[in-house]
Amino acid sequence: MAYDYGSESLGIRNPFKTEGLLRAIRGFLVSMLGIYPLLQVASIIKQDQVLAWIYAAIGFVLLAAGLRALGSGIFQMLRFFVGRSVPTSLATNYSKSERETAKLEQPHYKSNDLEEMLMGRKNKTFVEPEGFISRLVHTLVPKLIFLPYPLRNLAQRFAGAIIATAVALVAYALTAFVCITGLAGNTGDILLPFFSFFLIVYLIMTWRTASTVSRQAERQIESQGNFKLVKIIAFAILAPVLLGVAINQLLQQRDVALFVAELQGAELESLAILPQLLLVMLFAAISGTLTFLLLKQRTAIVKAQTKVSEYRANWQENIHPRELFVNIDNIVMANRRYKEIPNRVYRELAPKLNEQSASKGDFSGEVIIETQPAYTPIEHTKFFKQLRLWSTILGQIFLVIGPLILFYLLSESELILKLIREFMALQRPSSAAVQQFTVSLFNEGQFVIALLFSWLICSSFGRLLENFSHTFWAELNFDSLLVYLKCEGTYTESKLTTGKGIYDSTSSENYVMRSSLTPWIITSRIMTSTFADSGSKNVEHPRHILEMVDNPEEMQAILDDIQSFLSDRETIASIRNSQDLSNTERIFQINQQSRAMPVNADQGTLASPQQDADASFSLDKPQN
């Protein structure tokens, strides 16, 4: 959505400054590692062009990774632009001041969902987990269901990776038993190294997939079911069989069989997977401990309430129904705005008046309004903050160890190139020389593969800790008032006349609407959560309701405002300016004078006061 500037800040600070600083430091160190090989290219290219290309390739990879981390770290430390339209609305916002912004939002709820939550005292955010792994995790950590979706998906992904690793190790143990005991036939000695290779590759892919944090995970709970376990078990059963068949087909060829027989008699080093397995188990234990403790600290402050304040009554008032709705929208709720930011309107106030005749009818109307969410930081414990910091630090350390291993491969590449050139220098190498070269190259290749595996393992777990800790840095909580109002009733029209007297024609005639109102008001103070990001969409991701708290004081304040409006209304027209008051007084004086004039019986006209006096004198005078 657009950046809507306001002079009054919402108080949302950049939560990624510490994380960005650590990432920038890591990016700077990796960039320095990448610059060194590139500086050596100019001197090496004169001696060995192939080695120079290897230095250049590794240097470019390290420099690109370092600059990317450095740039993202600096980007996280830049100013956190927050407009007046954030965070995202709970449902489609029909407020007139947010028409353009509402088109860009992707809310999680609908207005019907909010109505159901308020009326039914329930929270539709807490959905039931699906799948065996998901249910197992939520059973072991019961309060996990009350956390936001990204944290729940994080826990499920990690648990799924742990279970996949355990099942893969059991499958490998069974395969190793079959190969070592000779049950797999003559191909057992060759089959086990291949399966060891595929085991390490599978574990790396499993943990790299688990480290991925998708923004789509904010909208729904991922399903971790039995299908994943089925795939692991199927792989453990079918892989040895398929590899055995493939190797048997190759051994049927004479040249391949002779070559393998010669290698079996040579001093070949078997693929050592124990260091990689120990590395995976060590990093999994460290990551699992930190993730479990962070989730435990987060669930400790969960309150998961679904309470509301409710008011139902029947009012008999002299008011037009439309005036009541207008007052609630323009005055009662407008007075409860946060920092003068317009309220979020999830159901527009459109009262329906059904006029049955000229003087009576019925009406109905409803509205759902949320005040602007106020940023309310979570009061985390000191232990939680330390765990979050150390998770980020360890993640960056793991991501630095990986490039160091890749940097160390430069020396190994020099040995391999030297070995190849010495063999190529022989014009007619003997079979012993070929065998010695093959053994040496095979052993050096295994060491290089072991280094590459170690680099990928460190990278996978470093990315996992970085992304998981980033999720805990990114959570933002808001507090707001959610109001649902429904009002129905009937109205009748009556005429009220006041001010008529016997001699005075000044009066007031008014048509009054007598309404029978049945309001139903439900309010709740809700706590919502969203997850921020760096960039233009920093606080524009879906927002979820986590707590609903009753608020009887706010409910009473709303009722007081409505009843104050009803009691202060005037139903009789009155004079409010001095000019009209002066005119009315002049008319009153004229009427008094008119009433004081008697009527002349002979002429049927009004007599003046002088004529009345003369007539009285003539009647009282004696006659001669």
Residues 356-413: pLDDT tens digits?
A: 776 788 888 888 999 999 999 888 899 999 999 999 999 999 999 989 998 888 888 8
Percent of the chain with pLDDT over 70: 75
Region 612-618: what's the mean pLDDT?
A: 47
Complete DSSP assignment for 445-476: HHHHHHHHHHHHHHHHHHHHHHHHHHHHHHEE
Residue 144 covered by a domain: yes
Region 94-114: what's the mean pLDDT?
A: 85
Residues 222 and 131 placed together within one structural domain of the fold: yes
Region 161-178: what's the mean pLDDT?
A: 81
Residue 435 covered by a domain: no
pLDDT confidence band for 524 (50 / 70 / 90):
very high
Residues 258 and 210 placed together within one structural domain of the fold: yes
pLDDT confidence band for 104 (50 / 70 / 90):
confident
Residues 197 and 159 placed together within one structural domain of the fold: yes
Residues 329 and 369 placed together within one structural domain of the fold: yes
Instruction: Quick: pLDDT tens for 433-448.
Output: 776 777 777 777 778 8
Choose the final residue of a domain: 79, 95, 112: 79
Residues 25 and 155 placed together within one structural domain of the fold: no
Residue 140 covered by a domain: yes
Residues 218 and 330 placed together within one structural domain of the fold: no
Residue 326 covered by a domain: yes
Distances (CA, A) of 404 to 274, 276, 286, 458: 21, 17, 21, 10
Of 7-21, 112-126, 261-275, which has the strongest mean pLDDT? 112-126
**pLDDT for res 187:** 59
Q: What residues contact 397, with CB distance under 8 A and at least 6 apart?
A: 462
Confidence check: pLDDT of 571 > 80: no
Check whether the bond before 148 is cis (ω within 30° of 0): no
Residues 152 and 228 placed together within one structural domain of the fold: yes
Distances (CA, A) of 367 to 120, 312, 523, 615: 17, 16, 12, 78
Residue 493 covered by a domain: yes
Residues 593 and 558 placed together within one structural domain of the fold: no
Region 159-178: what's the mean pLDDT?
A: 82
Q: Which residue has the higher pLDDT, 212 or 312?
A: 312
Residues 525 and 612 placed together within one structural domain of the fold: no
Residue 233 covered by a domain: yes
Instruction: Quick: pLDDT tens for 27-64.
Output: 999 999 999 888 888 888 888 788 888 889 999 999 99
Of the candidates 205, 115, 124, the residue with the CA atom closest to the CA atom of residue 456: 205
Of 407-411, 421-425, 613-617, which has the strongest mean pLDDT? 407-411
Residues 159 and 256 placed together within one structural domain of the fold: yes
**β-pairing verdict for 315-318 and 309-312:** unpaired
Residues 515 and 540 placed together within one structural domain of the fold: yes
Residue 100 covered by a domain: no
Residues 563 and 495 placed together within one structural domain of the fold: yes
* 3-state SS, residue 115: helix
Of 50-59, 491-500, 568-577, which has the strongest mean pLDDT? 50-59
Q: How many domains does the chain have?
A: 4
Give me the chain's average pLDDT, please.
80
Choose the final residue of a domain: 240, 268, 296: 268
Choose the final residue of a domain: 268, 290, 319: 268
**Parent domain of 185:** 127-268
Residue 115 covered by a domain: no
Region 199-207: what's the mean pLDDT?
A: 87
Residue with tokens 């007539």: 615
17 and 389 in contact (C-beta within 8 Å)? no
Confidence check: pLDDT of 300 > 80: yes
